[in-house]
Amino acid sequence: MALILSYPWWYILFCLAAGAVYSWIMYRKEPLLNETSSTLKRILPAARFLSVSLLAFLLLGPMIRTFSREVEKPIILLAVDESRSIVNRKDSSETRAQIRAEFDKLKKELSADFDVRSYAFGDHVSENPVFRFDQRLTDFSQLYNYLDVQFSNRNVGAMVIASDGLFNEGASPVYGPSRLKIPVYSLALGDTTIRRDLFISSVNHNKIAFLGNSFPLEIIVDARQAAGRRSTLSVEEDSSILFSKSLDITGNNYHLSVPVFMDAKTKGIHHYRIKLSPVDGEATEVNNTRDIFVEVIEQKQKVLLLFASPNPDVSAIRQSLESSLNYEVITMPQAEFTGRAGDFNLVVLHNLPSGGGNETSVLEKINESGVSAWYILGSGTNIEALNKAGAGISISQANGQLNDVQASLASNFSLFTLSDALKNKVEAWPPLKSPFGVYQAGTNIYPLFNQKIGIVSTAQPLLFFHEQNGRKVAVLAGEGLWRWRLADFNEQGNHQLSQELIWSITQYLSVKENRSPFKFKARSNYRENEPLVFDAQLYNQSDQLINQPEVFVRITNRQGKEFQFTMSKTEKAYTLNSGIFPVGNYRFKAEVKLGDQVYSHQGEFSVSALQLETANTVADHQLLNALAAQTGAAVFYPGKTDELIRSIQSNENLKSISFMHKKLEDLLNEPWFFILLVVLISTEWFIRKRTGSY
């Protein structure tokens, strides 16, 4: 502890002098002193002297500087895999009890020397495991991300993962711990013994089919230690058998791909159940059944992709759209297009207008046809021609140069919804090449992204939407979408997020606008581990968002049972989280009364089962060994917990870290100083009153 002054230390002499002068003036002729004892004669002037001196001392701005030391023990992270694959065996209750006992022992023994934190993971991460083993997915990367955020720059010494090594979501566990930079020990759960088991390992199918067509299913059947047995593969819908095939299992490591073609005869969501009849002595029969859902729709959305010159963006957009059965894509140079724009639901114009050929007449035909348009600007865009093309944007002071521009999410965008994962990633993706200039867009625009140049977020739009003469128009003021697609693959191992962005833009532009003032948004499929979330918007006669009326939603299952909800009100819209529903097909109807008019929206959706955890009953301890070897740790088995504890305790790299904390505070804020002043003043006052003075 140290005392610091804002003035030189010798200023304290003035404070003492002020106290002495004040005390002398007050008590030099005080008759009270002549009537009191010699002790009081010293106490009263001394109390006045000290209180005045201390008050004067405060004028010097005294500060107290204190130093304190904090010691942080090494943190040990314990994570248990609570997915269903851990207890796939018939002795599941005994397995649960054994794992819990091992985990509790590990936590208790390590807590003496370390700061132990325990977590459960599967399809989500939670603190303090409950050992129910009911999570429907195993995602190691989600665990790594969660711990990386929670314990960044902390004294984390090691991590212990209790798992069977099986994962079915996210990146491989081997590639995640490198950023944590800690040894990852494994407590190997599950059984690597190959037992007799017949199972459907996967069903490859499209989620969407088109009315009147046939669509394929590829059913992958595997069997272990079941040579010479016979089973029957069947596909059912509403208890009606649509396909059946007898299977003769010819080896102990049997694998068969069975192609099946189904007819899309009626619109709507179809629930197909795929079954394998069990054989004697199977380890489990849970993985003999798979449920899939296929939505049958009437037609595809036709997209025309025109470009001024070849560009990797064109390929990125085409590949993204063709990966969805919702779209039929025709790609060609603008100079070769001689068809009717009205035959398409959307026209994408890449680097158009470019200022050459017959494109003026083509653009005029597109505008006159009423088809939606998506302009993508870049190095080949003729800015002067663009300003005259009716795209809804004017760029001035253009000099032909390009800026590196990153996306910055705009606020209050309401035309469609992007996933949180996409929102979190898009701002970090590589910059687009945007034409330099001052952008002036119309007043009734809906920006999704604004331009971010370097570290400066601007108000200039990068991607925005508007309506022009009753048709939808989007403008992306930059080329380089192919970079976003590559960045997505590098980070996620797939193109899911970049495709989501292109699908969302295309779907909004290509679908005919619902002119009803009541707009209700629901997905066609939900997974069984996620809540059903719906959004709605209501517009008044002035086309303003309102949410005063109540919106009622009724969900009905296949048995006719109804579930009724009232949507919650957000700032200017509605939302509903109706919780998790069982696997199956459902219908819904949403209603709202605006004035004397009742508006409604109805449809259907499915909740699909997550059966990945039941597909494999053989633990993958090789992956756990690879994970431990990569991080300089080791793998241990149930019953060997004492060895695991000793291995961690003997790790010399696990050391406590001490931190020095410096604190600077006004002396007046110190309680003891305030109490001292109160005691001095109160003592003098009390003595004077008691002796009859004032």
Residue whose token pair is 């962005």: 501
Helix (H, G, I), strand (E, B) or coil at 419: coil
User: What is the C-alpha separation between 408 and 425, in angstroms, rounded?
Assistant: 11
The per-residue pLDDT for range 123-170, each reduced to its tens digit, is: 889 998 988 888 888 888 889 989 988 888 888 999 999 998 888 887
Reply yes or no on whether the pLDDT at 175 is more than 80: no
Give pLDDT, residue 481: 96
Residue whose token pair is 């804020």: 669
> What is the rounded average pLDDT of the residues 325-350?
90
The per-residue pLDDT for range 649-689, each reduced to its tens digit, is: 998 888 888 878 788 888 878 888 888 888 888 888 887 77
DSSP letters spanning 260-316: EEEE--SSEEEEEEEEE---TT-S-SGGGEEEEEEEEES-PEEEEEEESS--HHHHH
Contacts for 351 with CB less than 8 Å, ≥ 6 apart: 307, 308, 309, 311, 376, 377, 378, 379, 380, 381, 479
Reported as a pLDDT band with limits 50, 70 and 90, residue 35 is low
Percent of the chain clearing pLDDT 70 (strictly above): 96
Give pLDDT, residue 346: 94
Domains and CATH numbers, the chain: 2-68+662-690 (no CATH), 74-193+618-655 (3.40.50.410), 197-296 (2.60.40.10), 301-510 (3.40.50.880), 518-608 (2.60.40.1930)
Give pLDDT, residue 426: 94
> What is the rounded average pLDDT of the residues 420-424?
87
Give pLDDT, residue 137: 85
User: Which of 128-137, 159-168, 174-183, 363-372 shows the lowest mean pLDDT across its residues?
Assistant: 174-183
Reported as a pLDDT band with limits 50, 70 and 90, residue 30 is low
Reported as a pLDDT band with limits 50, 70 and 90, residue 461 is very high
The per-residue pLDDT for range 187-205, each reduced to its tens digit, is: 998 888 888 889 998 888 8
Angle at 80 between CA 79 and CA 86, to 5 degrees: 155
Judge whether 320 and 326 are in contact, CB under 8 Å. no
Reply yes or no on whether the pLDDT at 59 is more than 60: yes
Give pLDDT, residue 46: 87
The per-residue pLDDT for range 64-83, each reduced to its tens digit, is: 888 888 788 899 999 999 98
- Can you point out the beta strands (E) in 320-455? 327-333, 346-350, 372-376, 393-396, 402-409, 432-435, 438-441, 446-453
Contacts for 59 with CB less than 8 Å, ≥ 6 apart: 15
Per the model's pLDDT, the better-predicted residue between 235 and 298 turns out to be 235
> What is the rounded average pLDDT of the residues 472-501?
93
By the 10 Å C-beta count (0-12 exposed, 13-18 middle, 19+ buried), 160 is classed as: buried
Reported as a pLDDT band with limits 50, 70 and 90, residue 344 is very high
Give pLDDT, residue 375: 95
Reported as a pLDDT band with limits 50, 70 and 90, residue 32 is low
Reported as a pLDDT band with limits 50, 70 and 90, residue 62 is confident
Q: How far is residue 260 CA from its own chain's centroid?
A: 37
Q: How far is residue 644 CA from its own chain's centroid?
A: 34
**Long-range contacts of residues 100-104, Cβ cutoff 8 Å, at least 24 apart:** 100/131, 102/162, 102/187, 102/638, 102/639, 102/641, 103/78, 103/129, 103/131, 103/162, 103/187
Give the pairing type, strands 545-546 and 551-557.
unpaired
- 531 closest CA partner among 576, 589, 587: 576
User: Left, alpha or beta for 530 (phi > 0: left; psi -120 to 50: alpha)?
Assistant: beta
> What is the rounded average pLDDT of the residues 397-401?
85
Give pLDDT, residue 37: 62
Q: Which amino acid is at 401?
A: Q
Give pLDDT, residue 369: 86
Contacts for 124 with CB less than 8 Å, ≥ 6 apart: 135, 142
Reported as a pLDDT band with limits 50, 70 and 90, residue 116 is very high
Q: What is the mean pLDDT of the chain?
A: 87
Residue 347 main-chain phi, psi, to 5 deg: -115, 125
Angle at 494 between CA 449 and CA 145, to 5 degrees: 80
Judge whether 200 and 286 are in contact, CB under 8 Å. no
Q: Is the peptide bond before 353 cis (omega within 30 degrees of 0)?
A: yes
Reply yes or no on whether the pLDDT at 264 is more than 70: yes
Judge whether 186 and 161 are in contact, CB under 8 Å. yes
**Reduced 3-state DSSP string for 565-608:** EECEECCCCEEEECCCCCCEEEEEEEEEEECCEEEEEEEEEEEE
